Structure 1
């Protein structure tokens, strides 16, 4: 357990004294939070009301490390995708290499696994409903009310998979009585274009509705390129990196009585034939057998950067040499009903959600114009959830209790063609011609929980928050993997029954556990909040679906995170300067660490620790200038991560010699690595330091208002995988964005000229170490420019 040192406490105290508006006498402190004055007209970055504790509060009254942005702020930042918020959230990062899967990372906590059947340790909520599938997270951000990002375990109020934190998207609801709406169009480099619109208002007294949509096309910045004229090897001819998406949202609010309100939602999103699933090939130093140089743990360790995987020549990260055209097709339907009913001194909230998702995805996993790895998945996902919550005030006590039920089912397939399954073919057939493995699974997961949390005002300036949630997981896995190879009969490799026969219960999970929170909060005046908290976060166990794992590794254990935090939220009396800071220490039991082991994605458990800090500053030094700064620092250690141990690959040319750890066994190479684990690794996507920044200056122009804005983020060197292989190191980089906007005097018409990554920084959004087969990566977009016009009424 971490002991908070005196210097940390002194630093927080010093900030409190320097920013406090008056001495912290008891008679000066309000017993209840006060409403902030309206921000100056020139400031689009005023105070935000959030629901981080499932009740409305000012952001600076919440004793949690939280960042939040309103819809107007997101519009000013040019954010139109659910993943774009990361640049302005300290300690937040993302793994995303297509619209296929989105993996959020908070304080280094994530699960960088691309399989469809796993849940993430950073819980994603949309309009108060949990999204259990990582397939459903990626999407368009439009007509949004705000985004809230809560760092650290939030299991008491948000459930068992909020170990790392919560990302909550809140759409604009049908709350307006007056008829209103907007139409917005955008066009940018690489032929990226979008159109969105919304309309809403009161239909009759007590009945309101809103309809919004967005369509986005193009933006394929990674261009197809043939290897060279002499080789005769051609690419798929496919440009990738863009989107072909449509989203629709309809909502209505009905005031059944003055105390009873019913809110209904329908959401639909579609990604249609999106060209995707292509990678760059990099960091390979070729050995005599044409495989890549690896370290003793079997991880590619070359320093070469992006290359043409056939010729070895330097290449651009925006070239696509892949020979197989990838695609994504996905449809998501969501229906939801929210009920709010005031019953005397308490309020009943009901949230009912049903989600149906279908996905079909194919990728060229090797970044080469020859078929070495081709990977495809399908997933049919259904989710039903129900939350009931009672909340009320009883003198100095604010309380809420509730119950939650979640029923999820994922039926899917995974198809792997090429090198990763050659070992399966050799082990069963004695040789390999054109091996492929098809895995089918049916995961049924049910969870119920009961929870309660209360905040008690001990004195006018001191309060205590305590919360507890008991959660019970019941899961079952039906699984079968089949090997097909030309010239040989199909063979069953593994099933859930075969694993369960060796380790009884390996295909079932039934476990209960608890999340807890305790927070002491000191608020001597309206401008100062200091808090110390302990949170216990939990995440359920799951499976590694692979025919190559042992029965002991088929199922991985749940994880538990103990989090200790000390924070301060401070502001000047005029609210022109606000500072939020948090120090944290994590103790992880059975952290679920993802790694590619022998070319197979697997999850294993290991203890871990981390220590870090975040700081956010909002400042309006003069009336027309707004500045936002954020930063983070973190150090982490994962005790043990399993490495490859062994890997089998094809004989790339006849008679290839033995090299490094690999022996030619006739038609294939068997590579045995001396180190089977990686010790004391750092969390992935957790740079030692990071800094995000924004400066916005508005001015009178042509009777309207003009604004110039610069924003971006700098990240220190970081590992992109928990195995910490040299090839997964992302050097320090900076991304800067610029915009120039004008709004007419009536606030009806606005136009923005924008540039993203204006200095053309080349950096990876994702990487995967394939051992002897090299490293594949996906690079974020280069410099991009465009314009956006908006009409509002």
Structure 2
């Protein structure tokens, strides 16, 4: 079955630091204590990794941060595109439907609407709890921060693997200001964004920003067998959305400030939800070859699933059009106030998200699997935090509350539904597996962190957070055909077998201890232990057992050491980090008996990251980086056994299967589990590079840039089947831009993936049913222009 089964990888890794003195000054404006330490050479950025403003080079955490201007120079216009710029960060996504970030190999393995990821995403200081809401347009950005490693002490239980924080440009500027950017590129992609802001009255300022984008699909509709299996006419990978954001900032006397935000975004009739048939050794019986674990073991690339001939990864043979619609509204307020030596911060957020999605899940021009899902997600969160400091002591303490409700439905049409209908005594002509759920999650936590300077050079940091999760679910699964239906399972049937199966109540502790040593002003050495926690959840599928309806919470003990160094002139900077992860009850996804499930296993990982930024002259930046990682998952369950329909009567019986003489095969795979698997999206090696040269010319400054990343071979799924291997590849981008002397006008021409490398953004190994994949965009090129005032 393919419903709710998504595990993907979108390639890219890039380490980049570049910023002019004007941008650096803007980043630290209003933070005089930090500005004195900041040099324009590399544009050291002020971050809020410890929920206060600090120079990123002074924070004992592996951080990559980019200003809004840096992101524009890189052509980043979508929240998911930052994966191309951050060490160890990759993306699992096959459409805008669900987005999972993967950091140092840590990700949410099961792609379903109701799960949270272990890489927490914050937007303007507020947690986004739905993986439906992580992708989206990125515009008028002040800064993006990526924190690697557990961040649960200050940010909560689902920051096990790290944190991504998007910060929008606020309304702090009183003078009238704004910009307008227009761009056009291959596949008829057109985008327009802009912002305007300034003072409304004394002490009150406002800003409005928006973006709209439209694009044709890059995976072209094609007939699998002209005259017999025609094309559906839908090109996949299109864009059609807009977003609008407004904010008001008010001074509350000399000691306080209030920020209010309203955000709206829409995606309408986006053509998506289709795949290519990949890495299948097609047998005469119509199925793909497998190994002893029931995993696809092909390696030949994309084929036409009807003819078996090689095919382009940018062709769509599906017969059922896919579609994606999403509507998101966010209302948020942030209050900061100086109570006289103690600073109060209060952040309130309400999010309402609705989406519906349909996909052709088989990559074939016949109805094998069609999957539809809809969901409404509502979230309320409240954080209260106090902070203070003295000469040697700095502290924070607070409380947090989160209430999430998601109500949805999932419909599966095709072979899985036919099998379910026949088993229930229904005709099996046009059945549907219909699932509904109502999941309610609450979390409350209290936390604190303190820093004490043992000497001028040595600081100890300690943090603790107690977090309590409570989750309840109403669930129903049935096979429906016309007016008839047959119940498959409900939360009550699971609870009748195992009392409490429909309820989760867990409390746990996140912790942090760091030793921070500064032998010189430009050198930081640190060592830390962090304990990250992620709550348990449900596997909403009628064919799991009462015992597997839930999966347990996971905990991660991270041991990390690093150094951040720069020479006195700041023309050379080196950041290096080494880490070792010990996982208890790592949540691993697998297809067991054809049913998507999350199970628990112990795991570990060891890695090293290196970032170097070199500016030999005022005109040249050379940035190089590398990562190395070794990962190990003790045990992952595999297919076990499953039934298959006889597709070609009289053909050979699939390996490990027996003919039941009733139109089905029963397949019993001898290898029931995989030991020593590697994390998904965790290549052993990666290398990244940026060459950036600027020169004053034509009444402004001209910049030529080449950047890219090389990835070693990696698995795209934790089951490590041969068909889910992504071979090593390199992606290179290039751009040429001009900015006027007064910084009012800029123009850029660019190319992405200029050598037209074909690589997978997603792959799902369905064993004998084949491997379905989505490939990232081929070479694109375009132009953009910006006017500022």
Common fold: TM-score over 0.5: yes
Q: Tell me which of 488, 491, 496 is aligned to 1:496.
A: 491
- Aligned partner of 1:331 among 313, 327, 338: 327
Q: Does structure 2 retain, via aligned residues, the 8 Å contact 1:422–1:649?
A: no
* Aligned counterpart, 1:62: 59
1:538 and 1:647, CA in 2 relative to 1: closer, same or farther beyond 3 A? same
The aligned residue for residue 451 of structure 2 is: 455
Give the Cα separation in 1 of the matches to 2:785 and 2:764: 39
C-alpha separation in 2, matches of 1:669 and 1:87: 44
CA distance in 2, matches of 1:138, 1:654: 45
Alpha carbons of structure 1 residues 648 and 419: separation in structure 2 relative to 1, 3 Å: farther
Mapped to 2, the partners of 1:77 and 1:121 lie a distance apart of 27
Q: SS state of the match for residue 388, structure 1?
A: strand
> Structure 1 residues 175 and 542 mapped into 2: Cα distance closer, same or farther (>3 Å)?
same
- Report deviation, 1:213: 0.2
Give the structure 2 partner of residue 275 of structure 1.
271
* Aligned counterparts, 1:367-378, within 5 A: 367-378=363-374
Partner SS for 1:227: coil
From the superposition, tell whether residues 419 and 679 of structure 1 become closer, same or farther in structure 2 (CA, over 3 Å). farther
1:71 aligned onto 2:76:
no
Q: CA RMSD in A?
A: 1.4
Is 1:743 aligned with 2:728? no
Is the aligned partner of 1:198 residue 2:195? yes
CA–CA distance in 2 between the matches of 1:249 and 1:648?
Answer: 51
The answer to whether the aligner puts 1:592 opposite 2:587 as a matched pair is yes
The count of residues paired between Structure 1 and Structure 2 equals: 757
Taking the TM superposition and a 5 Å limit, the aligned residue runs for 1:536-547 are: 536-547=531-542
Structure 2's unaligned 5+ residue stretches are 1-31
Aligned to 1:560: 555
1:455-488 CA distance string (max 9 Å, x none): 10000000000000000001101100011246x9
CA distance in 2, matches of 1:539, 1:285: 39
The structural deviation recorded for 1:424 is 2.7
Pick from 749, 758, 761 the counterpart of residue 757 of structure 2: 761
1:380 — aligned with what? Answer: 376
Task: Give TM-score scaled by structure 2 length.
Answer: 0.94
TM-score normalised by L of structure 1 = 0.94
1:629 is aligned to 2:624: yes
2-side partners of 1:315 and 1:764: how far apart? Answer: 14
Q: Deviations over 1:408-432 (max 9, x none)?
A: 0000111111223444334332874
Q: 1:264-298 CA deviation, whole Å, 9 max, x = no partner?
A: 00111100000000101011112232111111111
| Deviating more after overlay: 701-710 vs 556-565 | 701-710
The answer to whether the 8 Å contact 1:423/1:648 transfers is: no
Residues 639-648 or 272-281, more deviating: 639-648
Secondary structure at the aligned position of 1:55 is classed as coil
Give 3-state SS (helix, strand or coil) of 1:552's partner. Answer: coil
Counterpart CA distance in 2 for 1:521 and 1:286 is 57
Q: Secondary structure at the match of 1:429?
A: coil
Instruction: Render the CA deviation track for 1:682-713: whole Å, top value 9, x for unaligned.
Output: 00000001112111111111111110011111
Are 2:510 and 1:510 aligned?
A: no
Match of 1:28 in 2: none
1:337-386, CA deviations, whole angstroms, 9 ceiling, x for partnerless residues? Answer: 00000010010000000000000000011111101111111010000000
Q: Which residue of 2 aligns with 1:260?
A: 256
Q: Secondary structure at the match of 2:362?
A: coil
Q: 1:347-746 residue pairs with structure 2 within 5 A?
A: 347-429=343-425, 432-485=428-481, 489-665=484-660, 666-746=662-742
- CA contact 2:34–2:46 (8 Å) conserved in 1: no
- Kindly indicate whether residue 769 of structure 2 is the aligned counterpart of residue 773 of structure 1: yes
Q: Distance in 1 between matches of 2:505 and 2:109?
A: 25
**Equivalent residues of 1:283, 1:303 under 8 A apart:** yes
- Residue 4 (structure 1) aligns with: none
**Contact in 1 for aligned 2:313/2:775 (Cα 8 Å):** yes
Find the partner of 2:144 among 137, 142, 147: 147
Q: Partner residue of 2:107? A: 110
Q: CA deviation at 1:387?
A: 0.2
CA distance in 2, matches of 1:576, 1:326: 51
Cα distance in 1 between the residues matched to 2:665 and 2:210: 53
The equivalent position to 2:98 in structure 1, one of 60, 83, 101, is 101
Instruction: Identify unmatched segments of 5+ residues in structure 1.
Output: 1-31
**Do the aligned partners of residues 705 and 37 (structure 1) sit closer, same or farther apart at CA in structure 2, a change above 3 Å counting?**
farther
Q: 1:517 to 1:33 in 2, by over 3 A?
A: farther
Q: 1:156·1:516 contact (CA, 8 Å) conserved in 2?
A: yes
Corresponding residue for residue 318 of structure 2: 322
Shift of 1:36: 4.5
The 8 Å contact of residues 38 and 55 in structure 2, kept in 1 or not, is answered as: no
Q: Please, which moves more after superposition, 490-499 or 694-703?
A: 694-703
- Structure 1, residues 156-215: CA drift from partner, whole Å, max 9, x if none? 000000001000000111111111000000000010110001001111111011000000
User: Match of 1:52?
Assistant: 49
